[in-house]
Amino acid sequence: MKTLAHGGQKAYENQYDLIHRREASYPNEIWQADHTLLDILVLNEMGQPERPWLTIILDDFSRAIAGYYLTFQAPSAIQTALALHQAILHKRNLDWTICGTPEQFYTDHGSDFTSNHLEQVAIDLKINLVFSAVGVPRGRGKIERFFSSINQLFLQYLPGYAGNRPNDPLLTLKKLDEKLAHFIMYHYHHRIHGTTKKAPIRVWNDAGFLPNMPESLESLDLLLLHVAKARKVHSDGIHFQGLRYIDTTLAAYVGETVVIRYDPRDLAEIRVFYENRYLCTAISPEIAGYTVDLKEIVSARNKRKRALKNQIMSEGAVIEDIIQSKQSQLEEDSEKPEPTKLKLKRYFNE
């Protein structure tokens, strides 16, 4: 009564209200997502110190991290989509096994989580969106606890963290991203969790279930890879960000304008779309350690030429048929007798 009288309704709710705590019964039943402004300064593109934003997607059952996104930009639908894209797909690192689509996606009422884009993604992927009560963050305590673990077990040992020596050289965002990925995969996932009493990655793996994956990875790229650019296909591939991307499929589209979609964190490959249709995944040989063999390029070129020649031959046959038809019609017209002229005279005053 004293708390309600002196502190108001908000203080009373935080201290005495009974809350409902969501509990998942198996992996990928509920995923939680949230953003936080990290308590660390890192160097931005201009070389100036700035605090980055972290978007986290956490599996409610195992407490494992399904995906994350680190950026200097304020939370938006793009950051959420990129984090969800990483969370759903199989990871390149085989030690990070969390993947699939969740049954429920539990978030707050942020504008990015309630956007039309995320609503459309949820409809297409058959995900049920669940929102916490407005102004009541206690229902998202599991993901808030992870943010506390980030500060206590990771950030406080890095230069630029609040309270550390200010003279230490700051990290770049890319370096912080690499350290964060290593922390999640090889420290947090294998550390005994205080509630489950097991390592998060073990809880997720021991469930022995088959994750529900999207029907088409290309459609997932179209939904979630929100960063899209129009580019022209040159004879040596697609030029983007000072890099060159090549795939044998592009041999049939030299000179055409295509739309590329990509994850800003991974520029080794881009997805190429033509008229809203997935074409291929083009690779940058310079940074992917992957090369397209000369024989493959020659084979693709010859295949394209053969297709064009066949098309020219078929179109030439049609044109030849039209010409022959016109010539035969002219010959028939020339063989017809000329009409006789009337001999009736007409006068001016008629």
Is residue 254 domain-shared with residue 212, that is, in the same domain? no
Q: Which of 4-18, 67-81, 93-107, 220-234 is least confident? A: 4-18
Cα four-point dihedral sign 200, 202, 205, 207: negative
Q: Both ends of the chain: CA-CA distance in Å?
A: 118
Do 204 and 238 lie in one domain? The reply is no
pLDDT at position 334, please? Answer: 65
Its pTM stands at: 0.66
267 and 210 fall within a common domain: no
The pLDDT score that the predictor gives to residue 346 is 66
Q: Is residue 326 part of a domain?
A: no
Asked if 67 and 92 touch (Cβ cutoff 8 Å), the reply is no
Tens-digit pLDDT profile for residues 256-286: 999 888 877 777 888 898 887 888 889 888 7
Same domain, 209 and 275: no
Residues 105 and 131 in one domain: yes
- Is the residue at 206 inside a domain? yes
Q: Looking at the structure, do residues 213 and 242 belong to the same domain, yes or no?
A: no
The DSSP-derived string for 245-256 is EB-GGGGGGTT-
The range of the structural domain enclosing residue 270 comes to 227-288
Contact 107, 129 (CB under 8 A): yes
Same domain, 160 and 245: no
Taking the CA atoms of 66, 71, 75 and 80 in sequence, report the sign of the dihedral they define.
negative
Do 105 and 44 lie in one domain? The reply is: yes
- For residue 340, is it within any domain? no
CA dihedral 23, 196, 18, 131 (to 10 degrees): -40
pLDDT in tens, 211-233: 888 877 766 776 676 567 889 99
Write down which residue in 288, 311, 329 finishes a domain.
288
Across residues 128-145, what is the average pLDDT? 69
Res 256: pLDDT: 92
**Two structure tokens written together for 78:** 């793009």
Query: Tens digits of per-residue pLDDT, 140-184?
Result: 678 888 999 999 999 999 998 887 777 778 999 989 999 999 999
Quick check: is 100 in a domain?
yes
pLDDT at res. 240: 87
**Residues 54 and 94 both lie in one domain:** yes
Same structural domain, 210 and 231: no
The structural domain count of the chain equals: 2
pLDDT value of residue 182: 94
Tell me what pLDDT residue 5 has: 79
Q: Answer yes or no: do 66 and 91 share one domain.
A: yes
* Residues 170, 51 share a domain: yes
